[in-house]
Amino acid sequence: MTAYARPSSVDEALALLAEDGAVPLGGGTDLAGQVDRGLRRPHVLVDLQAAGLDAIVDRDEGVEIGAAVTLAALLDAPVLSPYEALVIAASTAASPLLRTVGTVGGNLCQHTRCWYYRSPELTCWLGGGDTCYAQLGDHRKHNLEPGDCISAHPSDLAPALAACGATVVVRSPDAERVLPVLDLYRRPTAESRSLLGLAAGELVTAVRLPAPPDASAYVRAGERQAFSFPLVAVAAARRGDAVRVVAAGVANVPRELDPLDPLAGLPGHPQTGWKRDLLAALVERAVDALA
Ligand SMILES: Cc1cc2nc3c(=O)[nH]c(=O)nc-3n(C[C@H](O)[C@H](O)[C@H](O)COP(=O)(O)OP(=O)(O)OC[C@H]3O[C@@H](n4cnc5c(N)ncnc54)[C@H](O)[C@@H]3O)c2cc1C
Ligand code: SF4
């Protein structure tokens, strides 16, 4: 049986999360589906909604966004309008209804949508098994990078935040660390089958944006305009002459790209070569939009 807790502070949430089998719950739009299918069996769901993580704070040199802020709230915050890539990414993620529930922390920490990983009948390599079923079977929507797991990173917010230079605040009961958004992610290894660089009991409490870039853009291709994960998404941001480009959908994790050679290290797989053309076109479009 799964218990439910609704802590009223971050410290209380962290104390609960220190227990074995405790899992943070944002809006549940990803987690509930996994629990429903028996893919995850948490002992305690630690609901973050009353833990004081739902504010967007204008700081001297940037903005701090609490981890429990919803995607919809990002769109209603005038202080975020100079971060155009983030606003577009938030407005295209999921659907209007899901955005009223899904949170920033949950969006960044959501699990891969790989259909083999999500199958209740299979335990694939990433889930702790021996086989990457995608590499044997249907991997049309998977990534472009060789590896043990070829799942594609799903979050719209992650590349936009990374391109804008955001950091993530991660807390445990006795420590806080602040890391670049891209460092929240890692490629899985045989010893650690996780795409997130979070230790047990650690919680994302906030995202910090520096001062807005001079220009930023977000372009994505999905199967539909709404209610459709990005097949490939590209965020670009410019500060002076320096351009930063980060993509989702092309690697296990959000991947920073060289704007002049965006396909480097991304050869594709038998069924995903089409994503290379798409990626090249979207990078060109995103960089052009910065002019
Ligand atoms: C039909 C559908 C379509 C979707 N389309 C898109 C899309 O196009 N683009 C997109 O980006 N997303 C999409 N999503 C995903 C959705 O946006 C995210 O699932 C949502 O933002 C996740 O937020 P949540 O608060 O509901 O996460 P939850 O489901 O509550 O949590 C997701 C995961 O993150 C962990 N977690 C939650 N908060 C924290 C925290 N603060 N610190 C550490 N771990 C945490 C949870 O334990 C869980 O493992 C879609 C989801 C669905 C169901
Ligand atoms: S791509 Fe990754 S998540 Fe999907 S089946 Fe292979 S190992 Fe599992």
Task: Using most ligand atoms within 8 A of CB, pick from 113, 133, 271 the residue to mutate for ligand 2.
Answer: 133
Work out which ligand 1 atom sits closest to the CA atom of 156: 11
Segment 18-40, tens digit of pLDDT: 999 999 999 999 999 999 999 99
Q: Is 15 exposed, middle or buried (0-12, 13-18, 19+ CB in 10 A)?
A: middle
Residues with Cβ within 8 Å of residue 4, at least 6 apart in sequence: 44, 45, 47
Residues forming a β-bridge with 169? 178, 206
Quote the pLDDT of residue 60.
Answer: 82
The CA 21 to ligand 2 mean position distance, Å, reads: 23
What percent of the chain has a predicted confidence (pLDDT) above 90? 97
Query: Residue 88 above 90 pLDDT?
Result: yes
Residues forming a β-bridge with 4? 45
Query: Residue 212 above 90 pLDDT?
Result: yes
| Contact indicator for 232, 249 with CB cutoff of 8 Å | yes
Residues with Cβ within 8 Å of residue 195, at least 6 apart in sequence: 111, 112, 126, 151, 153, 185, 186, 187, 188, 252, 253
Quote the pLDDT of residue 1.
Answer: 84
- Span 224-229, average pLDDT: 86
Segment 253-277, tens digit of pLDDT: 999 999 999 999 999 999 999 999 9
Residue found by looking up tokens 């807390």 in the block: 171
Domain map of the chain by residue range? 52-288
Quote the pLDDT of residue 109.
Answer: 98
- Span 103-115, average pLDDT: 98
The CA 268 to ligand 2 mean position distance, Å, reads: 15
Exposure string over 235-252, b if 16+ CB within 10 A, otherwise e: bbbbbeeebbbbbbbbbb
Quote the pLDDT of residue 226.
Answer: 80
Confidence class for position 185, pLDDT limits 50, 70, 90: very high
Confidence class for position 225, pLDDT limits 50, 70, 90: confident
The CA 244 to ligand 1 mean position distance, Å, reads: 25
What is the average pLDDT value for the chain, to the nearest integer? Answer: 97
CA 7, CA 13: separation in Å to the nearest integer? Answer: 5
Work out which ligand 2 atom sits closest to the CA atom of 122: 5
CA 171 to centroid of chain Cα atoms: 18
* Ligand 1 near 249 CB (within 6 A): no
Ligand in nearest proximity to the CA of 46: 1
* Ligand 1 near 105 CB (within 6 A): yes
CATH of domain 52-288: 3.30.465.10
Residues with Cβ within 8 Å of residue 177, at least 6 apart in sequence: 169, 170
Task: Using most ligand atoms within 8 A of CB, pick from 122, 126, 196, 271 the residue to mutate for ligand 2.
Answer: 126
Residue found by looking up tokens 């999500």 in the block: 118
Ligand 2 first shell, C-beta below 6 A: 112, 114, 116-117, 124-126, 132-134, 142, 149-151
Query: Residue 227 above 90 pLDDT?
Result: no
- Span 51-62, average pLDDT: 95
